[in-house]
């Protein structure tokens, strides 16, 4: 077996032994009473985390499954994709591949979505859907979610789809209050579960739109999820191991307490920020828009990042990320998502410093 290398890269992140034990529990039938009790049992906690009264659905897919589902279920006329990094940029391509009319509201990588620019675009009346990545994992930019939501709310015919894959449960996100129409997240980043599950909720407005949409298919049909949820089931056989792992993780989250969880992410993130300044690097994201769950660091010292990561891996048994896509070598990313504490982050940062030269 390969040795255990601890992941400080922003996804997948380290999964705890408790979660892994839950993940590997013996199987149960997915139409039986035991499964229904499992699924119904986690709903209230999921709804609290989502900030919604709507049911929370579980999709056996990675997050992109639900991202594509949102496009297929909701877009009738034209979708506007807020774009500022690898994940948000890709949504334009995905929308077009689904046969939809789609436009980019593009800013430079490292910038955020400017609410005024979004308002101007929506005022044309051309769009019925907007896609937004809350926390752009490739650049470490956290978008001003409340301001973006306020803009979209001024355009009642427009539905807002928000991806929170790398921010969910690390900062408060109130779906109903903000008027988000589809809120989605994946398992392997902020939630620190194994990859392969996506979670999402859909507003009444978005269900109504979906009901008018032809060719929604089956696997990702929002109305199929809704119908099955009424019986505490999923449309097709879900990854049951993931649902046990999620149940275990929810237990952890609510045992820690939401406020304490948010505070822990803020303090571990602050440790990375201090490290960046002390070591003469700079942030890739502008002040005020920096992610709380990962830090994207501009390689202003021109370090050979790949070699550095290699030394850290060999000498200390963990890895961080050497830059996503076109940022490879120019920036690197350190994650503080999931279960990391001030103690684990401090020892990670100290080891990273020791391997720097
Ligand atoms: C990782 C990531 C995705 C893609 O997730 P998959 O699980 O690979 O589908 C989407 N959005 C954001 C913000 C991400 O960080």
Per-residue pLDDT of 187-222, as tens digits, reads: 999 999 999 999 999 999 999 999 999 999 999 999
Residues present in the chain in total: 357
Q: Residue whose CA is closest, atom 14 of ligand 1?
A: 165
Cα(347)–Cα(97) distance, integer angstroms = 44
| C-alpha distance from residue 269 to each of 133, 207, 290 (Å) | 20, 37, 10
**pLDDT at 286 (0 to 100):** 97
Residue with tokens 């406020």: 259
Residue 188 CA, ligand 1 centroid: distance in Å: 9
Residue 216 CA, ligand 1 centroid: distance in Å: 22
The pLDDT confidence band at residue 115, using thresholds 50, 70 and 90, is very high
Could you tell me how far CA 295 lies from the centroid of its own chain? 15
Cα(18)–Cα(229) distance, integer angstroms = 27
Q: Residue whose CA is closest, atom 5 of ligand 1?
A: 63
Cα(324)–Cα(83) distance, integer angstroms = 15
Q: Work out the number of other CB atoms within 10 angstroms of the CB of residue 69.
A: 28
Which residues are near ligand 1 (CB < 6 Å)?
11, 62-64, 87, 133, 137, 163, 165-166, 186, 189, 195
Q: Give the tens place of pLDDT for each residue, 239-263.
A: 999 999 999 999 999 999 999 999 9
- In a mutational test of the pocket of ligand 1, which residue from 60, 63, 188, 200 has the highest number of ligand atoms less than 8 Å from its CB? 63
Q: Are 13 and 337 in contact (CB under 8 A)?
A: yes
Q: Are 161 and 131 in contact (CB under 8 A)?
A: yes
Residue 198 CA, ligand 1 centroid: distance in Å: 10
The pLDDT confidence band at residue 104, using thresholds 50, 70 and 90, is very high
Q: Rounded to two decimals, what is the model's pTM? A: 0.98
Taking alpha carbons only, the member of 165, 157, 168, 164 closest to residue 206 is: 157
**pLDDT at 61 (0 to 100):** 98
Cα(239)–Cα(197) distance, integer angstroms = 8
First to last CA, the chain: 31
What is the average per-residue pLDDT within 43-56?
A: 98
| C-alpha distance from residue 99 to each of 103, 210, 275 (Å) | 13, 16, 46
**pLDDT at 78 (0 to 100):** 98
What is the average per-residue pLDDT within 77-97?
A: 98
**pLDDT at 2 (0 to 100):** 81
The pLDDT confidence band at residue 357, using thresholds 50, 70 and 90, is confident
In this predicted structure, the answer to whether residue 58 has a pLDDT above a threshold of 80 is: yes
**pLDDT at 264 (0 to 100):** 98
If phi over 0 gives left and psi between -120 and 50 gives alpha, with beta otherwise, what is residue 215?
Answer: left
Residue 75 CA, ligand 1 centroid: distance in Å: 21
Could you tell me how far CA 267 lies from the centroid of its own chain? 20
DSSP string, 258-279: HHHHHHHHHHHHHHHHHHHHHT
Cα(64)–Cα(94) distance, integer angstroms = 9
161 DSSP β-pair partners: 131, 182
**pLDDT at 72 (0 to 100):** 98
Which ligand 1 atom is the nearest neighbour of the CA of 198?
7
- In a mutational test of the pocket of ligand 1, which residue from 64, 85, 185 has the highest number of ligand atoms less than 8 Å from its CB? 64
In the chain, where the domains are located: 6-13+257-354, 17-254
In this predicted structure, the answer to whether residue 1 has a pLDDT above a threshold of 80 is: no
Q: Give the tens place of pLDDT for each residue, 11-30.
A: 999 999 999 999 999 999 99
6-13+257-354 fold: 3.90.1150
17-254 fold: 3.40.640
């Amino acid at each position: 077996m390969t040795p255990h290398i601890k992941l400080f890269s922003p996804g997948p992140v380290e999964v705890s032994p408790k979660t892994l034990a839950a993940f590997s529990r013996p199987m149960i039938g997915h139409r039986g009473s035991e499964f229904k009790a499992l699924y119904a049992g986690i709903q209230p906690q999921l709804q609290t985390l989502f900030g919604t009264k709507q049911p929370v659905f579980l999709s056996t897919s990675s997050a992109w499954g639900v991202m594509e589902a949102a496009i297929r279920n909701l877009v009738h006329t034209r979708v506007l994709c807020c774009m500022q990094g690898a994940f948000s940029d890709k949504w334009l391509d995905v929308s077009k591949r689904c046969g939809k009319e789609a436009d980019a509201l593009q800013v430079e990588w490292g910038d955020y979505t400017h609410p005024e620019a979004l308002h101007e675009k929506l005022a044309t009346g051309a769009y019925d859907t907007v896609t937004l990545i809350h926390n752009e994992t490739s650049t470490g930019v956290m978008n001003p979610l409340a301001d973006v939501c306020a803009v979209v709310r001024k355009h009642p015919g427009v539905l807002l789809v928000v991806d929170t894959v790398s921010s969910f449960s690390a900062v408060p996100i109130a779906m109903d209050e903000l008027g988000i129409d589809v809120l989605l997240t994946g398992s392997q980043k902020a939630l620190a579960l194994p990859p392969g599950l996506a979670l999402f909720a859909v507003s009444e407005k978005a269900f109504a739109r979906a009901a008018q949409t032809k060719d929604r298919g089956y696997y990702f049909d929002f109305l199929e999820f809704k119908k099955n949820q009424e019986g505490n089931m999923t449309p097709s056989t879900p990854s049951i191991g993931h649902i046990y792992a999620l149940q275990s993780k929810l237990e952890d989250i609510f045992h820690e307490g939401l406020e304490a969880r948010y505070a822990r992410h803020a303090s571990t993130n602050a440790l990375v920020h201090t490290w960046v300044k002390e070591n003469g690097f700079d942030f890739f994201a502008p002040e005020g828009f920096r992610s709380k769950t990962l830090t994207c660091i501009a390689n202003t010292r021109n370090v050979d990042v790949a070699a550095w990561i290699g030394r850290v891996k060999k000498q200390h048994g963990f890895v961080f990320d050497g830059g996503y896509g076109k940022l490879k070598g120019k920036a690197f990313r350190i994650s503080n998502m999931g279960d990391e504490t001030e103690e684990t982050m401090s020892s990670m940062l100290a080891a990273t410093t020791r391997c720097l030269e």
